Amino acid sequence: MKLTINIPETLNEVTLNQYQKWLKIAEGKELDSFLQQKMIEIFCKIPLKNVLQIKASDINNITEELTKLFTNTPKFIDRFEMNGKEFGFIPKLDDISFGEYVDLDTYLADWESMHKAMGVLFRPITFKKKKQYLIEDYDSAEKYDMTEITLDVAFGALVFFWNLKSELLKTTLNYLATQEEVELPQQMRDSLQNGAGINLSTDLLMGTFLNTIVSQNQNYTPA
């Protein structure tokens, strides 16, 4: 049987859902023969029974190419199209609501909920003029299925947001300081001021992201 194998060459050919599936079985493990098979099954979209028919030398070459793919430095993408809709990143982080902040803090703590974090950061564009645009008001992180967002968008947003975490934290604290009628528990104030919340979550998530990439390269050994 002739088997056609389509190997993704760029991150925009891989979805967040595929990467989440991969991390669920591969995180913290060495890339052995089983994980090589699963890698090809997930990212090349080939049934496992067909993967087993591929020559061993080709398995090594394919997984090596896939591993290299995830070492690419992602660029920030503020707009993209998905299912006929144009989505945009939050135009002004200064305008982020406390509800958005809390949801991001929750969803950024785990790769399994990364698509929900993307649902907070990206929403359909309602108006645009040249490089400026407006997006839908925040309703729910699950209003749109963000599992099919491509990895170039997801990785780029993660790195961009990680780099801006200090600015975001400062903005949130400044906003809370202007709300005289809002009385936050001291524990929450201490948590924010000490850099917990999103600051901690993005550190953990980014650490997982970078460690996974490093691990995939260090642990790659041809079968």
Q: Domain limits of the chain?
A: 11-72, 79-211
For residue 171, name the pLDDT band (cuts at 50, 70, 90): low
Residue 15 above 90 pLDDT? Answer: yes
| 140 within 8 A of 117, measured Cβ to Cβ | no
Q: What are the C-alpha distances in Å from 172 to residues 65, 66, 90, 141, 206?
A: 42, 39, 15, 19, 21
What's the rounded mean pLDDT across residues 70-85? 90
Residue 87 above 90 pLDDT? Answer: yes
| Global pTM value | 0.75
What's the rounded mean pLDDT across residues 120-145? 94
* pLDDT score for 131: 86
Least confident of 12-26, 128-142, 151-165: 151-165
